Amino acid sequence: MTPTHLPWRVATVAAAKRESVRAKAILLDVPGWPGHLAGQHLDLRLTADDGYQAQRSYSISSAPAGRPQLEITVERVDDGEVSPFLLDVLREGDPIELRGPIGGYFAWMPGDGGPLLLVGGGSGVAPLMAMVRARTRSGDKTPVRLLYSARTVDELLYRAELEELAAAGDGFELIMTLTRGAPEGWTGEQGRIDREMLAARGFPPDRRPRIFVCGPTPFVEACADALVALGHEGGRIKTERFGPTGDLK
Amino acid sequence: MTDEFIPLDGNAAAGRLAALFAAEPTTIVITCESCGREGPLGTLKLYGGAMGMILRCPECGTANLRFSDAGARATMDLRGSSRLTVYGAEAQR
Amino acid sequence: MLITRGFKGKARNRGAAQDRVPPGQYVTPDFPVLSAGPTPRTSLEEWSFGLRQGGQTIAEWRWADFENLPQTEVTVDIHCVTKWSKLDTRWRGVTFDDLLGAAGLDAPPTSFLMAHCDGGYTSNAPVADLAQGRAMIATHYEDLPIAPAHGGPARLLVPHLYFWKSAKWVRWLDFIDHDEAGFWEGLGYHIHGDPWREQRYRGDP
């Protein structure tokens, strides 16, 4: 066994809830969980009966809450090796190996300051949800704008929760955009998050927002470049690239 | 569509690096030996894969850190980094 | 280690090819790409390949000259130390023996060599593992020029050793007196790397 102080633990699947047409939120009971920062991820390890193993990283979408239950959001990767298993086979009561929390660089906690600009593409919204939820839970009043891009309306994650938070009017603003067409009555944006949308809907550079960008690598690169071109400080832009398939592999 | 390998951020390296760092790896500040760039490990470009990891300076592309965790051991080659700094909680963020 | 109920993982059967698959390996139809750095982009105009020793160039070829050297086609199985094997891969290139011949060498000048590549990657091998038709500098895979992401314009091909030894983007072979660790060998992988003896990691017999 490779030496480590970050041991593999056995967690139990507490629940699995459909979150969108392609994704589920999976709740895990993790005895001995040391707590986490909003934005951190965990690694899952799956072992087939011949010993073959696969590992994947998933952002923790639940707020740090002082209780040992975590939520990860798993979106289907077509022909993927792991996501179809997690979505179609894994069930309540199953044990699963994980380690974490991992990653302190891409993290925000209430009290870290803002304003906070969160830019998420597809399942990249997962770690940003942890930040939004942490803020809500703590009563923190840092102004937040979440720019969230999904392909279609039924691929949006956490839609009801986010719209409710936006309606509460306590400094959280939600801008959703669909890149592959919108249904009748859609009042959000359409098209990719680009320089124009970031200029129009993000915080201006003179407010020096803390910025977190997460999603597939090409999405993150394009947004980060656009933010720098708009005049935001590179040092205040933190990125988490999921692989091209959307996996943090 | 090519098989082009697209690098991730240093964030994705943190789980495996836990074998060798007591500190949370992504916040360790690395000074590039080649160009002098200083930044958190989480900002380095991550190459490699199952065989091991190579973290490269985002400015000049120099390998700042090479790591392998094959075969029940963890090996790190820090040639390419002139300095590593870990900040205490008060100094961070 | 916890077995995950119902988890199968991607297709990896050995099937009828049992005797062709070294211990601990799975068979894959894919060609996974692993890279230590960004893909080098050397144009055919800039490219050259050489044999060197002690800082001196013994022989060097530009692309057109290299393509005029004797060409050999092989169909081989390849084995990655990460446990994937791919069967019946077809390559074309210039064998190590033909390179020595073209360089006017009756025999290799030393017993070991190090492959040097664009991007700085290196891998080492005993000359005996390259000679007698066991290795080539490959320029074509499945009848097409090797794509940059897979090591093009040319890569070393030493299929009887773990595939990390088949250095991508190879530019010269340096003849050296003693075996030295290349890139992965210096990070804990086996100095020799014979998949049939499962020489994966430093310290494996």
Segments making up each domain of chain B, as ranges: 8-85
pLDDT at B71 over 90: no
Q: Tell me if residue A92 falls in helix, strand or coil.
A: coil
In a domain, C128, yes or no: yes
What are the tens digits of pLDDT across the range C133-165? Answer: 999 999 999 999 999 999 999 999 999 999 999
Q: Are strands A189-190 and C72-79 parallel, antiparallel or unpaired?
A: unpaired
Minimal Cα–Cα distance from B61 to chain A, Å? 17
Of residues A10, A2, A72, the one with CA closest to residue A36: A72
Q: How far apart (Å, rounded) are the C-alpha atoms in residues C118 and C121?
A: 7
- Residue C63, in any domain of the structure: yes
Please count the residues of chain B: 93
* B contact test, residue of A52, A99, A105, A217 with most B CBs within 10 A: A105
Q: Say whether pLDDT at C5 is over 80.
A: yes
For chain C, state the CA radius of gyration: 17
Q: To which H or E segment does residue A85 belong?
A: helix A83-88
Q: What gap in Å lies between CA B70 and CA A161, rounded to an integer? A: 43
Least CB–CB distance from C12: residue in A49, A52, A85: A52
C127 in a structural domain: yes
Position B88 confidence tier, pLDDT thresholds 50, 70, 90 = confident
* Cα–Cα distance measured from residue C32 to residue C149, given in angstroms and rounded to the nearest whole number: 10
Within a domain: residue C3? no
Interface check A190 vs C, CB under 8 A:
no
- d(Cα A7, Cα A98) in Å, to the nearest integer? 8
Distance CA A241, CA A214 (A): 6
Q: Which of C117, C105, C110 has the alpha carbon at shortest distance from C58?
A: C105
Nearest Cα of chain C lies from the Cα of B13 at a distance, in angstroms, of 14
Beta-carbon count within 10 A of B49 CB: 16
Contact assignment for C36 to B63 by CB distance below 8 Å: yes
- For chain B, which residues lie within 8 Å of any Cβ of chain C, measuring from their own Cβ? 2-5, 7, 47-52, 54, 56, 61, 63, 66-68, 70-73, 75, 77
CB A149 within 8 A of CB A162: no
Tally of CA atoms within 13 A in the half-sphere of C77 that contains its CB:
17
Q: What is the pLDDT of residue B6?
A: 76
The answer to whether the CB of A43 falls within 8 A of the CB of A28 is no
Please name the helix (run of DSSP H) or strand (run of DSSP E) that holds residue A224, with its range, or none. helix A217-229
Contact criterion met (CB < 8 Å) for B18 and A102 = yes
Contact call for B22 and A5, based on CB within 8 A: yes
Predicted confidence at residue A248, as pLDDT, reads 44
Within a domain: residue C5?
no
Q: What phi, psi does A135 have (nearest 5°)?
A: -65, -45
Q: What is the DSSP string of C25-66?
A: -EE-SS-----SSSPP---TTT-EEEEEETTEEEEEEEHHHH
Contacts of B73 in chain A (CB under 8 A): 2-3
Minimum distance, in Å, between the CA of residue C117 and any CA atom of chain B:
15
What confidence category does residue B1 fall into, taking pLDDT thresholds of 50, 70 and 90?
Answer: very low
Residue A103 has pLDDT above 70, yes or no: yes
Determine how β-strand B29-32 pairs with β-strand B81-85: antiparallel
Using alpha carbons, select from A221, A41, A57, A21 the residue that is nearest to residue A127. A41
**Residue of chain A minimizing CA distance to B25:** A103
From residue C186, give the alpha-carbon distance in Å to each of B75, C110, C171, C198.
9, 21, 20, 18
Please indicate whether, in this complex, the C-beta atoms of A112 and B93 are within 8 angstroms of each other: yes
A62 and A130 Cβ atoms separated by less than 8 Å: yes
With beta carbons under 8 A apart, name residues in chain C contacting A94: 4-5
Provide the pLDDT for residue A6: 85
Residue of A nearest to B11 (CA): A103
CA dihedral B77, B10, A107, A212 (to 10 degrees): 150
Mean pLDDT lowest among A187-196, B71-80, C8-17: C8-17
Q: Strand B63-68 relative to strand B53-56: parallel, antiparallel, unpaired? A: antiparallel
Q: Say what the pLDDT of residue A67 is.
A: 66
- Assess if residue C87 is contained within a domain: yes
Run of H or E residues at B15: helix B14-17
Which chains border C (3 or more CB–CB pairs < 8 Å)? A, B
In this predicted structure, the answer to whether residue B90 has a pLDDT above a threshold of 90 is no
C62-116 pLDDT, tens per residue?
999 999 999 999 999 999 999 999 999 999 999 999 999 999 999 999 999 999 9
Q: Which of residues 3-32 of C touch A (CB under 8 A)?
A: 3-10, 12, 26
Of A6, A102, A241, the CB nearest to B8: A241
Beta bridge partners of B16: none
Report the CATH number that the domain containing residue C96 is assigned in CATH.
3.90.420.10
| Number of domains observed in the structure of chain C | 1
In the three-class reduction of DSSP (H, G, I as helix; E, B as strand; rest coil), residue C185 is classed as helix
Domain that holds residue C74: 23-29+47-197
CA distances from A217 to A129, A242, A247, C160 (A): 19, 6, 10, 36
Residue pair A247/A221 in contact by the 8 Å Cβ criterion: no
Q: Do A3 and B19 touch (CB under 8 A)?
A: yes
Distance from CA of C63 to the nearest CA of B (A): 24
Out of C2, C6, C9, the one facing A52 most closely (by C-beta) is: C9
Strands A172-178 and A144-150: parallel
Range with lowest mean pLDDT among A129-133, B17-21, B25-29, C3-7: B17-21
For chain A, the first-to-last Cα distance in angstroms comes to 21
Distance CA C7, CA A90 (A): 9
Domains and CATH numbers, chain A: 9-102 (2.40.30.10), 116-242 (3.40.50.80)
> What per-residue confidence (pLDDT) applies to B91?
63
Contact B68 C81 (CB under 8 A): no
Q: Which residues, 6 or more positions from C130, have their beta carbon under 8 angstroms from its beta carbon?
A: C96, C113, C158
For chain A, list the contacting chains (3+ Cβ pairs, <8 Å).
Answer: B, C
**What is the pLDDT, as a whole number, of residue A186?**
96
Looking at the complex, does the CB of residue B56 fall below 8 Å from at least one CB of chain A? no
Task: Name the strand (E) or helix (H) holding A190.
Answer: strand A189-190
Q: Which residues pair with A71 in a beta bridge?
A: A27
Test mutation, A12, A44, A50, chain C, max C CBs within 10 A: A50
Q: Which residue of A has its CA nearest to B44?
A: A239
Closest to C151 in 3D by CA, of C133, C160, C163: C163
| In the predicted structure, residue A82 carries a pLDDT above the cut 60 | yes
Lowest mean pLDDT among A199-203, C27-31, C165-169: C27-31
Tokens encoding C125: 């091998």
Q: Does A97 touch chain C (CB under 8 A)?
A: yes
Residue of A nearest to C9 (CA): A81
Residues C81 and C164: beta-carbon distance below 8 Å: yes
Does residue C34 sit at the A interface (CB-CB below 8 Å)? Answer: no
User: Is C18 contained in some domain?
Assistant: no
Rounded Cα–Cα distance for residues A27 and A15 (Å)? 5
Give the model's pLDDT for residue A247.
47
Q: Phi, psi at residue C122, to the nearest 5°?
A: -135, 150
The average pLDDT across B32-55 equals 95
| Residue A81 C-alpha, separation from nearest chain C C-alpha, in angstroms | 6
CA nearest C36: which of B60, B80, B48, B49? B48
Chain-chain contact of C34 with B50 (C-beta, under 8 angstroms) = yes
